[in-house]
Amino acid sequence: MAQKRPASQQATPAKRRKLQDPAAWYESYSGATADYYKRYMDKEWGVPIYGPGRSRDNKLFEMLSLEGAQAGLSWDTILRKREAYPPSKVTSLLKSPGEGSAVIVKNRGKIESVIRNAKLSLQAAEEYGSFCKFLWSFVKGRPKVNRWKNMKRIPVVTKEAMEMSKELKKRGFGFVGPTICYALMQSIGMVNDHPVNSPQWKRVNDIVERRFGK
């Protein structure tokens, strides 16, 4: 979900003051002042999706699909279309008329990759015991807790993301470049990339310590 603020977008004095609030660190992203975007960043982004069970595997596949769909688009666009992405409806929704939040991103390559990735994720789950274990193997099963002082320090790709991308591509997954893989790692809590002075960082860190130990 790494996004750069457009150079032409100048903040007003009031907005600059607001952005000094640690909780509002992400609000320069496109669409980030919307309530659904705030809920996602404050309550979901960075919280580890980890553990046994098909429901977690399904959630991880959902996030992989959403991150892949974002390629070339803003995360705001994908969040608004999130509910339109149940795998069972993908083929029919590609043919559905209209635009808007109820309709998926109509890119045939992206849609075909979702279908192909679904089959490949099941293969990985069979090999590793779960899709969760497969994905989390790139951080050895424990979140990496970063301590970035501000959003400018947050990377868009890391060595682990490059390794994940390489392995996913080797297995035939689509739309899994290193940047997309790192965005996935951020969203599913494999890393805590909230700035360290934000309340979101503390909340995620508390969750990590309760579930994984200090």
Under the banding of pLDDT at 50, 70 and 90, the label for residue 92 is low
Catalytic residue among 25, 26, 37, 75: 75
Q: Was 194 annotated as part of a binding site?
A: yes
Task: Check residue 131 and give its pLDDT.
Answer: 97
Helix (H) or strand (E) holding 63: helix 54-69
Establish whether 40 is a catalytic residue: yes
Catalytic residue among 25, 37, 50, 67: 67
Q: Which of 67-81, 113-127, 145-159, 166-180 has the lowest mean pLDDT?
A: 67-81
Catalytic residue among 40, 50, 136, 201: 40
7-26 pLDDT, tens digit each: 333 444 444 444 468 889 99
At residue 93's C-alpha, the angle toward residues 1 and 125, to 5°, is: 60
Single pTM value for the model: 0.81
Checking if the pLDDT of 53 tops 90, the result is yes
Checking if the pLDDT of 32 tops 90, the result is no
Establish whether 148 is a catalytic residue: no
- Give the C-alpha distances (Å, rounded to integers) separating 93 from 111, 138, 209: 10, 33, 41
What 8-state DSSP symbol labels residue 145? E
